[in-house]
Amino acid sequence: MPHQRQDSGTGPDADQSDRRIAEASRQVGVSPRVLRYWEQSGVVRPSRDPAGRRHFNRHDLLAISLIRELLDSSETSISDLRLIRELAEREVTAAMADPLTRLRLLFQRQAAEEGFHRLIDAAVPQERGPLPRPGHDPGPGPLDPLSGPHATPED
């Protein structure tokens, strides 16, 4: 039986980029029939609206693209991917039941985000300054055109 997420595209996690099956299949380069098969196999799990229509969000599209790449570039099968997904879901469920593990995962995610921001800061030209961190308001700065003294050319 296909997996049905509670999200019907109208909740707080609704994504403006939700795609129906025909549009999703065009975007990722596989047929709607293949997407239905992958869903039946348990590898892809799109949400469904109250009428039962599939909706693929950006995470689904990314997963489908990765699945397609794996299948095209290796000897991985749909059965292999289904097994990997089932094992990963069991591991996540078990890990999330333990508060210490949840805290450790939160810290790992925070460290990964900080590392990502350091990489981006290094890639951004220095005259623009570092990118703001989520939840950090640096306040008005010299590069903010709406704040600070505005230089006007003297005639």
Each residue's pLDDT tens digit, 84-141: 888 888 888 887 788 888 888 888 888 888 877 777 777 665 555 555 566 655 555 5
d(CA 14, CA 140): 32
Question: What count of other Cβ atoms lies within 10 Å of the Cβ of residue 49?
Answer: 14
Each residue's pLDDT tens digit, 35-89: 999 999 888 889 999 999 999 998 888 888 888 888 888 888 888 888 888 888 8
Residue 77 in domain: yes
> Number of folded domains in the chain?
2
Residue 149 in domain: no
What is the band of 3 on the pLDDT scale with cuts at 50, 70, 90? Answer: very low
Q: Is the pTM of this model over 0.85?
A: no
**Based on the domain organization, do 111 and 52 belong to the same domain?**
no
**Based on the domain organization, do 111 and 93 belong to the same domain?**
no
Question: Could you tell me the residue range of the domain that residue 109 belongs to?
Answer: 99-131
What is the band of 1 on the pLDDT scale with cuts at 50, 70, 90? Answer: very low
The contacts found for 30-36 with CB under 8 angstroms, 24 or more apart, are 30/64, 30/68, 35/64
pLDDT for the residue 135: 61
7 close to 13: Cβ distance less than 8 angstroms: yes
pLDDT for the residue 33: 94
**Based on the domain organization, do 6 and 30 belong to the same domain?**
yes
- Rg, Å, the chain Cα set: 22
